Amino acid sequence: MTAPHSDDAPATGDLWRLPATRIAAMVAARQVAATDVARSALRRLEAVNPAINAVVECRPDAVLEAAAAVDAAIAAGEPAGPLAGVPVTIKVNIDQRGYPTTNGLTLQHDLVAKTNSPVVDSFLAAGAVLLGRTNTPAFSYRWFTSNRLHGATHNPRRRGLTPGGSSGGAAASVAAGIGAVAHGTDIAGSIRYPAYACGVHGLRPSFGRVAAYNASGRDRAIGAQLMAVSGPLARTVGDLRLALAAMARPDSRDPWWVPAPLQGPPVPLRAALCLRPDGMDTAPALQDALLDAAATLRDAGWMVDEVEALPPIADAAAVQVTLWMGDDYAGQAAAAEREGDPGAIAALAGQKDFAASIGLPEFSQALVRRIGIAREWLAFTDRYPLVLLPPSAELPFEDDLDLRSPADYRRVWTAQMPMIGLPVTGLPGLTLCTGLLADGTPTGIHLVAGRFREDVCLAAAEAIEARRPPLTIAEP
């Protein structure tokens, strides 16, 4: 079925350019067929993916079959779903039935999932069409995306910059117009940093908002259980909002899922702006982006106070690394050696001395410290419902900077304190692209709100987005 186009409707070949909100509305109204959207998305993937290697597995026949099922359901009068016909990519570290959950590992290239993760089931229930599987670094360890199984993903905005990690494939794909929404995961910045690096938007939901489970592997260690979440990346804030609503579906396979409302009670339009949290040496371009965003929010009716300090971030990062590296570090290092991936080996080797200092008392104390840090942040967000801070101390790194020297490795980790520390709080965080520098380097800001108040982050991000030009689609 292909419906006639209105004067302002795009040609079917350009449907890949549309945001998810418009695609879903048009498909539900039978103004365009989901199969036409899928064909357009597949053509875009074929045109640009070879240059960036963002999508590492795509089965076009399955994509078209899924789109045809959406069209058939709508024709039969069934509910279309909030993501009807929207092309969505899935990161290779979660289960999608019939596909290997590789997590960027040669060791897992035959680990074919027998069931879907809750995230995949949620997208399908919402009417999305799953377009392909996106790349991640080995073990999803780094803020750079390459591995021995799938190769390297390149930044579509500016080759030579990292696409971010671990959801580097997700961010690169959506930045280049391969799908309207991308799924990502974030334990220490793996949604927020790739979105920032590739010049799109990324939302890390509150812990407990989006159900997660991989039947293909064993349950994760406590640190990962408490810090890792799934969330969306997109080119518009409205698409983040739409995708989050679809992803926040109950699933009994995740005991930590919380039935919190997506829209909370009204809060004062008051924000705290911190340019140098914990004394961080923030790049001037990022300080400028934050100051401009603050001015934009003031224009939208917000009161924005510049503050010198925030609740702990560096201490929170130390807790994060303790819980991550203090649980079977030797086993993690041995697995990296078996895989033979240079990035994974270096990521763990750089923490060897710290890991050696962690015993049961230190691990237990980190768990105790976690609740105190979370309490401080919750109290702060009671006073300031929104916090603006840098996504990183630096503009997006040159690719593989962490592998050049021990000093560069430490530079990367030091710059990433907001990425590493904030998951300890359990709060939502959103990185919003604020534009591109003259050389194509993306800039952005980081928005944080109270627990389960993604709506506050999204409302502020929409107020900023509405007062600046829309994001362009990258042409790699």
CA distances 169 to 54, 136, 376, Å, are 4, 6, 34
Helices (H) and strands (E) in the chain, counts: 17, 13
Q: What are 151's strand-pairing partners?
A: 147
Q: Starting at the edge strand that comes first in sequence, how are the strands of the sheet with 201-204 ordered?
A: 55-57, 129-134, 87-91, 181-186, 229-234, 201-204, 429-436, 442-449, 386-389, 270-273, 303-306
Structure tokens at 314: 């560096």
Task: Let me know: does 380 contact 271? Beta carbons within 8 Å.
Answer: no
Q: What is the dihedral of CA 62, 64, 65, 68, to 10 degrees?
A: 160
List, in order, residues 6 or more apart from 456 with CB less than 8 Å away: 264, 267, 385, 386, 449, 450
| Given 117, 122, 146, 190, the catalytic residue | 190
Active-site annotation holds for 357: no
Letter for the amino acid at 338?
R
Residue pointed to by tokens 């079977």: 328
| Given 117, 122, 140, 166, the catalytic residue | 166
CA distances 162 to 155, 439, 443, 472, Å, are 6, 15, 13, 19
How big, in percent rounded to 5, are the helix, strand and coil portions of the chain? 45, 15, 40
Q: What is the dihedral of CA 178, 170, 162, 186, to 10 degrees?
A: 160
Active-site annotation holds for 91: yes
Give yes or no for a cis peptide into 166 (omega within 30° of 0). Answer: yes
Q: What are 184's strand-pairing partners?
A: 231
Active-site annotation holds for 352: no
B/e letters for 25-49, b = 16+ CB within 10 Å, e = fewer, are bbbbeeebbbbbbbbbbbebbeebb
| Given 40, 91, 140, 392, the catalytic residue | 91
Catalytic site positions:
91, 166, 190
